[in-house]
Amino acid sequence: MNLNNLKPAQGSTHKEKRIGRGAGSGHGGTSTRGHKGAKSRSGYSQKVGFEGGQMPIQRRLPKFGFKNHFRKEYKAINIDVLQMLSEKLGVTSIDEQTLVTAGYASKNDIIKILGNGTLTARLDVKAHAFSKKAIEAIEAQKGTAVKL
C-alpha cells in the first residue's frame, strides 16, 4: 500500500450532484429549487430561528432563570485528599502551589477546603476558603488553616 494507490472503500463515495447543467443531467431547469418563491431565487437566506411563520421557539418559551456574573466558583478539595497528599509527598504544609503541582487544581483556581473524609496528619493548610468542618478537622490535629 502506497500513497499513490490509496482509494476509498467500495461504495463509500457518491458522484457529485452537478446542479444546473442541462436537462439531460436531471438537475437542470429549476436546478432542484422548485418553481417561484423566495427560496428559488438567488440571494435568499432564511433568518436564524425562522420557523415558516409559526411562532418561533425563542418567543414561545418565556425567559427563565438568572446567572450571576459575579459568582465566585471554587475548586473543592476535601481533607481526605490533603491526608493522601501528606502521606504520598511527606509534607506538613499544603498550599496552593502544592495542590497545583499534584494536579488537583490549576493555577487560576480559587481553592476551598471541604471537610469530607478523615485527617490524621498535622497539617498547615493555606487556601482561599475553608468550610467549618474542615477548619475543625485541621485544628483537631493541632494544624493551622490560613486564608490566602
Report yes or no: 119 and 82 within 8 Å, Cβ to Cβ: yes
Cα(128)–Cα(72) distance, integer angstroms = 11
| pLDDT tens for each residue of 84-143 | 999 999 899 999 999 999 999 999 999 999 999 999 999 999 999 999 999 999 999 999
**What is the pTM (predicted TM-score) of this model?**
0.59
What pLDDT is attached to residue 35?
Answer: 95
Mean of the per-residue pLDDT values of the chain: 93
The full set of domains in the chain, from first to last, is 74-147 (3.100.10.10)
Residue 1 has pLDDT above 90, yes or no: no
